Amino acid sequence: QVQLVQSGGALVQAGGSLRLSCRASGRTFSSYTMAWFRQAPGKEREFVSAIDWSGLNTDAADSVKGRFTISRVNVENTVYLQMNSLKPEDTGLYYCAARLGTTSPEVARYPYWGQGTQVTVSS
């Protein structure tokens, strides 16, 4: 099992940048694919980006490609989401998630979740 603790949410202006962090407990972090999802008010949780255990394979939603970058530091048990050129539509509650296996954009394939952190982008 893995427990995930998130940090880094904030209120930022459109065009700004923000970095989210997600630190995992346990000694097997390097075995897990990690992902970020977000949920806007009244909407379903949606995939943002994922990175496999090696860090060599990543995936991202079309809406964030070229603006968001996912990365991980296995010795620190931490995954990051660097968000640049933020837009008001990026506003939402951001969650990190973990699973064993390849990257996936499906919420149901991730059994482990962080507590969520709010990102608000003002216009």
Cβ 67 vs Cβ 85: under 8 Å: yes
- Between CA 40 and CA 38 the distance in angstroms is 7
- Between CA 75 and CA 41 the distance in angstroms is 35
Which residues of the chain fall below pLDDT 50?
A: none
Residue 3 identity (one-letter amino acid): Q
What does the block give as tokens for 34?
């990690």
pLDDT at 70: 98
pLDDT at 52: 97
pLDDT at 6: 97
pLDDT at 80: 98
Q: Is 45 left (phi over 0), alpha (psi -120 to 50) or beta?
A: beta
